[in-house]
Structure 1
Amino acid sequence: MERKVQTKIKGYRTVDGAGVSLVRVLGNQTMEEFDPILMLDSFDSTNPKDYIAGFPMHPHRGIETISYLSRGKMVHRDTLGNEEAISDGEVQWMNAGSGILHEEMVPAADRLLGVQLWLNLPAHEKMSQPTYHSIKKEEIPEVSFDAGKIRVLAASYKDIQGYKGEHWPIDYYDIHFDQEGSLELSTEMDDFVMIFTLLGDVIVGDTLIEEKTAVRLTPGTSIHLKSHHTPSQVLFIRSKPLKEPIAWAGPIVMNTQKELEQAFTDLQTGQFIKEKAQY
């Protein structure tokens, strides 16, 4: 049974952080429809003034942030003592868990191109130990097909294994199509499946999806993707819906209003960080 387009969300230009111009695609208006993906921001600029102010130190609790840079550079620093950079084709994966402060600074590059996802955590993992992991180019398997390639950013493609998250299952592929490329992927019937058109337009089934658009697909066992006259780059995400209540304010996502209020009380009273840096 082939999956079709269920919901289509076109991104819009906004500003976040200390003045970073970005395309916001998913947010608190789409959190139920795209469960467990809470947010998707896309970066695409050849003007460093759009992004070099970066994202100064700020808190998170209850989510994982997954940043993928197809082009450019990002420098991460956090209260666990991590300080590391990712660049072209690499991934920054942070579990905020019980609470973390971090910053993401974005040095000038010829082009900044990528996305950040917020992956919701299940209730029993909301207060898990925070962690940070960078996935370097050499750790990302690439699989060629007739008209392009798949970069396995997370989990697996067929028998090819990439990085595996620890808290909630997610398959994450960066799919590159040649000018007339096409690909069919298999899925379990009830998986949550979405795509995001990072570069170029693609056709899903018989529906044209424009660049910088997120699409949730109907249930099914397969998906057919095809580039639309030009080379394109598509991010494919497969996961399981959490189907849990969401209490969300700013950078913190919990299950109840009481938990949310406790998080902000912890911030105000210096109790937010449960795990200290290890030196």
Structure 2
Amino acid sequence: MTTKHAYAYGKLGDHDVLRVGFGAMQLEHAGPADAVRVLRRAVELGVDHLDTAQFYGPGTVNDLIRTALHPYAGTLRIVTKVGAVTHPAERLAAAQKPAELRASVEANLRALDTDHLAVVNLRRADMPPGITATGDQVVDLDSQLAELIALRDEGKIGGIGLSHVSLAQLRQALPAGIACVQNLYNVLTRDHEDVLTECAEQGIAWVPYFPLGSAFDRIPSVTDNPVVIAHARRLGITAAQAGLAWLLGHSPATLLIPGTRDLAHLTDNVAVARIGLDHEAMTAIDALAGTPA
């Protein structure tokens, strides 16, 4: 059996949130009516941490969020990401300059029809996977943080987050006051364990993206791993729930933002906030670090 998770809530900056939120990126591939249903059901299930970006769609996802949830409940924390834009040819490109970061924040505010975002994550573009900055898009971190601090001082954003950063970059950014870090991390891909450790020590929320892997850049699928499957079956949960529950059990700093277009998967995902794996499952999955795909 699984055990009820003792800590269903965690900290996102100054806010207590359910440790399982919702990542909205997949909704750009959903029908509008289905997307609205999923978003409204997520809030009904207690989700109060919603992750989005104006370049998802582009613009489509924020439009769906506004349609589904505006006016927003006072407990809903909307988090967005800047540092990239989608060009008309639907090619994602770096947008790292301070003026571009400000423009992206303003675009999110307009699209979501709000005057405040709980957290804005700066998506750096220094390393793969994904977009990498070249030419005049290679921008120093301090100048980017200065622009985000100005936006925070203006009351347009509540907290500053980082995405796709190294340990050195996180430490460089600490004086700015960092609410969360979003890096690639899951049961099978743990290259950023050092960043997670620093987040835990500093009281910063750790929000892993691709928590179950991804076909993108051939990141291994957690739900296809035989060890994960075997323990999930033994515990009477899904492989996805096992992979997500391991992340919550691995560090109290972890908040999750799994995305889905499916109502049943949404219910399964949110239930993970109150699932704890037993010692046998945690130990077996711990041992998967560095396992080949």
For Structure 1 versus Structure 2, the TM-score category normalised by the shorter chain is 0.3 to 0.5
Q: TM-score, normalised by structure 2?
A: 0.31
Structure with more of its chain in helix, by fraction: 2
